[in-house]
Amino acid sequence: MLMKILFGVAVVLLAFIAFVATRPSTFKVERSTTMSAPPSVVFALVADFHKVGTWSPFLKPDSTRKDNYAGTPATVGHSIAWVSSDNANEGKMTIVSLNPPEQLQLELEFIKPFKATNGTVFRFERAGNGTTVTWVMSGQNGFLNKAVSVFMDMDKMVGSSFEEGLATLKNLAEAEAKTAAQAAPNDALVGDPAK
């Protein structure tokens, strides 16, 4: 009887492993939104990692996390490395290429709780007087990620965080654009004797 149970468990396990092996070997999560702010304003909020914590749900302020910034914002090599003692979270994000204010490409390295390297791209496309921002993350699906994807929809899980981040980014960018627009007429008056 015990042998039959063990044999049954082994068959189920092998079937599960075989099924997991058929899952996609790559993944891609993509979300977009349009905001009433010029590309330069939005780009500045994304290309400076000191500012990313104000809108990204992945880098929300955390008293247990230590952040280490390197390089000049909005340049290749600018990075943020983090270590969190609370949830054993460790990683690094680095700008690897950029074309201001149209595109920004990042390398996202996860060290803990699991190792992975994913590519992330932000595209900023003019849409009338505003900007359409597209946030894309892609990478390889190892066996563990494939197994997890059987039970959880990664696109839905990560995508909802992208949507949250883009909504916050939209609010910040639009507020900055509005402030700049209100200040512009006043700046034009300063030092102009004809006014």
The answer to whether residues 117 and 92 touch, using CB atoms and an 8 Å cutoff, is no
**SS3 (DSSP) at 63:** coil
Instruction: Check residue 195 and give its pLDDT.
Output: 42
3-state secondary structure of 129: coil
Q: What per-residue confidence (pLDDT) applies to 180?
A: 84
Assess contact for 62 and 84: CB atoms under 8 A: yes
- DSSP symbol at 88: T
- pLDDT at residue 28 in the model: 85
Pairing, β 116-127 against β 130-140:
antiparallel
**pLDDT for res 150:** 52
* Residue 160: partners with Cβ closer than 8 Å, 6 or more residues away: none
* Among 87, 93, 46, 45, CA closest to 69: 93
- CA dist., res. 104 & res. 107, Å (int): 10
The C-alpha angle with vertex 157 and arms to 155 and 110, in degrees rounded to 5, equals 90
pLDDT of 3: 75
What pLDDT was estimated at residue 166?
Answer: 97
Residue 64: phi, psi to the nearest 5? Answer: -95, -5
The pLDDT value given to residue 49: 95
pLDDT at position 156, please?
A: 78
pLDDT digits (tens, 9 = 90+) for 105-137: 999 998 887 788 889 999 999 999 899 999 999
In this prediction, residue 157 carries a pLDDT of 76
Within the chain, which residues score under 50 in pLDDT? Answer: 20, 188-195
